Structure 1
Amino acid sequence: SVLSVPSVFTFITHRWYTRAMKFIFSTGSLYSYGTERSFAFAAKAGYDGIELMVDDRWDTRQADYLSVLVDRYGLPILAVHSPFRNVPGWPPDQPALIAESVKLAETLGARVVIHHLPNRLEFGFVRANKFQLQWPLRARGADQRYYQWLLDGYPQLQESTAVKLCIENMPARKWFGRKLNRHHWNTPETITRFSTLTLDTTHLGTWGIDPTPVYEAWGDRVGHIHLSNYNGREHRRPEHGELDLARFIQMLVTHNYSGAVSLELHPDALGAGKDDEHVIALMRGSLNHCRAWVTGETLSNKAAIGME
C-alpha cells in the first residue's frame, strides 16, 4: 500500500529518532529496588537503555555483574551517574569518585558520566531553646577541595577519556520560604564555564525556569538530559506537572539532539511498592508520551496509561 504524507513523515521521524535520541531509564528512579529489577522493568516497558545510578551497593559498581544484566535484558548502559556521597571501597572524595565512575563507564561502554556541582553552602543545626533550626553555613573541607579540583584538575580528566563528563544543574533549596542556591556555578549563565552539561528539567523547575530556552542557550554543551516534571515536588512523571515537556522534546527534535534523554523519577512517582505491573505500566506510559512528543502522534487512552 502507498503511505500517506503524514504517515511518511511519522515513519521518517521515528526512524531518525531510533537512530539518534534515545529514551533511557535511570536506575535511580527505583533506587529502593535492586539493580536487576530496574533492568527487568525497563526492558518490559520498552526503554532504549539504562542510566546507572552508582551508590553504596556493589551491584551498581561491578562491571562484570552489570555486563551480565546488559546481555540478559538487551539494554545498554549509556550513562553512569557518579555517586553523590562516599561509598565503601572507593576513594572518599568527589574527584576520585568521578574518576572511578569514568573507569566503570569505559568498561561498560557508556558515553557519559554525570556528576553534581560542588556545594557552596552546607546546613548545620542551631539550637534555640527546645528547637533545632537548620542554618546555612559556608561549605568547607571536601566541598572546597572539590571546587578547586574542578578549576585545576577536571580538564585533565576530561582530556584523558572519550567519556563525556556532564556536570548537572542543581535544584533550589527551600529555607524559611526562600530559595537558596547551595551550589557553586548553579545558574544557567555561570554553569556554562563547563564544556559539557547535564540539563535536568525538574531542577530548573524548582527555580521557575522553563527548560526549553535554557537548552537553546546551552546548545551543543548539553551532552545528557534528565527528564522529569515538577509540580512543587521534584522528579514527577514527564506528562504530569507544570513544565511543558512536550514542547521541550519537540525542540530537541528541531535541534537534532542526538544524546540520551534519561527519565529520572522519584520512586513514589512510579508507585514503588505496588504491584510490579502497575509500576511497569507507569514507566511505559511515560515512555509512550515521550515518543509521541517526538513524532507528534496522538496517544490512545490505553497507551497514555501504559496499557499498550
Structure 2
Amino acid sequence: MAEQKARVPDAKVALSTASVYPESTATAFEVAARLGYDGVEVMVWNDPVSQDVEALRRLSDHYGVPVLAVHAPCLLITQRVWSTDPWTKLQRARAAAERLGAATVVVHPPFRWQRQYARDFVRGVQRMADETDVRFAVENMYPWRYRDREALAYAPDWDVTKEDYPHFTLDLSHAATSRSDALAMADRMGGRLGHVHLADSFGSAKDEHLVPGRGDQPCAAFLERLTSSGFDGHVVVEVNTRRAMSSAEREADLAEALAFARRHLARVPGPGVPEPGTVDPGAPAPHRGVHRP
C-alpha cells in the first residue's frame, strides 16, 4: 500500500488580536508574523489602533500579515466604540473588512436589553449580508451563570443555530461554557459554518479560552472534521494569555496553539494512518500542563 502523506490544510489559521491582551493590537501583528500565522482577526475594542482602518492597513503591510476577519465591537466594554448604535457598528465593521480585504465580520447576537436591535437582528444581518461579499458570521454564545442561577443574556438566543443566519462562527470555548456538544453544533450549522474560534475549556461557568489541548473539549476531532468536510473558512486562535508571566511565555502558548491547529487540520482521515508530525518543527511540545486563565 502506498504511503499516505498529510494533506496541506485548506483552512488558514489566524491569530485573534485578543489573544495577546493586555498587549496591543500592533503586538498581535508582530507576533503573528514571527510565529508564521496566516493572518489576524482584528478584535475591535478600546485600543485606538483596532478602530483605525488606515493604522491596521499599515500594520498589515509592514508585517506582511493579512487581516482575514474583523470582530465587530459587541462586548460590554465596547458599547461606545465606533458608535452607541449597534447597526452603525456593523456597518463600520463591514466597511473595515472591505477596505482591509477581510473575508468575514464576526458578530455576537444582541444583548436582551437591546430590544429594538434584537427584534430586527436576524432580518437585518441577512439584509447586510446581501449587500456585500463579506460574510457576516454570527457567533454562538452561552447563558450567564452565577452559582445555581442562569440568566439568558442574549436575544433571540445564545444558541445561534435556532435562527436562519447566512453564516455562523463556532467558538469552542463558548460551546463548552453553554454545555453544548461542539461537534453536534457544527452538524446543525452545516454548510453555513463559515468561521471558527479555536480554544479549549473544561466546561465551567467561566468562558476559559484555553490553549487547545489543555482542556477536555474535542478540539482535535473538530479540526479533523473540518478538513474532511470541505470547510472553506478560517480557523482563528482565540485564547486567553493574560496570566502569562512574560512575552516569551505568551508567544510559546501561541506557537503551541498554531502547531496544534496545523497538525490536526493536516491529518489524513482513515484507519491505520499514522498521525503526521507537527507542521512547525520548532514549535514547543504540545502540552505543558493545564494553564488556566
TM-score, L = length of structure 2: 0.85
Q: CA deviation at 1:277?
A: 2.1
Q: Which residue of 2 aligns with 1:101?
A: 93
Q: CA 1:186–1:86 in structure 2 vs 1: closer, same or farther (change >3 Å)? A: closer
Tell me if 1:239 matches 2:237: no
Q: Which residue of 2 aligns with 1:63?
A: 53
Q: CA deviation at 1:97?
A: 0.4
Equivalent residues in 2 for 1:141-160 (5 A)?
143-160=114-131
Write 1 or 2 for the structure with the bigger share of helix: 1
Q: Secondary structure at the match of 2:120?
A: helix
Give per-residue Cα distances to partners, 1:100-149, cap 9 Å, x unaligned: 110111100000101111122xxxxxxxxxxxxxxxxxx2xxx0121123
Q: Which residue of 2 aligns with 1:198?
A: 169
Distance 2:168 2:37 in 1: 23
Q: Which residue of 1 aligns with 2:158?
A: 186
> 8 Å contact 1:282–1:305 — kept in the other structure?
no
Q: CA deviation at 1:159?
A: 1.5
> 8 Å contact 1:282–1:306 — kept in the other structure?
no
Q: CA deviation at 1:256?
A: 1.5
Q: Which residue of 2 aligns with 1:297?
A: 276
Q: Which residue of 2 aligns with 1:281?
A: 252
Q: Secondary structure at the match of 2:235?
A: strand
Q: Which residue of 2 aligns with 1:27?
A: 17
Q: CA 1:247–1:306 in structure 2 vs 1: closer, same or farther (change >3 Å)? A: closer
> 8 Å contact 2:21–2:242 — kept in the other structure?
no
Q: CA deviation at 1:175?
A: 2.4
Tell me if 1:254 matches 2:254: no
Q: Which residue of 2 aligns with 1:125?
A: none
Distance 1:188 1:154 in 2: 13
Q: CA 1:227–1:302 in structure 2 vs 1: closer, same or farther (change >3 Å)? A: closer
Structure 2 regions of 5+ residues with no counterpart?
268-274, 289-293
Tell me if 1:214 matches 2:185: yes
> 8 Å contact 2:71–2:107 — kept in the other structure?
yes
Q: Which residue of 2 aligns with 1:130?
A: none
Structure with larger Rg: 1
> 8 Å contact 2:139–2:160 — kept in the other structure?
no
Distance 1:256 1:248 in 2: 13
Q: CA deviation at 1:301?
A: 9.9
Corresponding residue pairs, total: 270
Q: Which residue of 2 aligns with 1:123?
A: none
TM-score, L = length of structure 1: 0.81
Q: CA 1:100–1:175 in structure 2 vs 1: closer, same or farther (change >3 Å)? A: same
Q: CA 1:188–1:153 in structure 2 vs 1: closer, same or farther (change >3 Å)? A: closer
Q: Secondary structure at the match of 1:166?
A: strand
Q: CA deviation at 1:302?
A: 6.0
Distance 2:73 2:283 in 1: 37
Q: CA deviation at 1:236?
A: 0.8
Q: CA deviation at 1:176?
A: 3.0
Write 1 or 2 for the structure with the bigger share of strand: 1
Give per-residue Cα distances to partners, 1:259-298, cap 9 Å, x unaligned: 10011112336x1xx3322211111111111111122324
> 8 Å contact 1:114–1:167 — kept in the other structure?
yes
> 8 Å contact 1:281–1:305 — kept in the other structure?
no
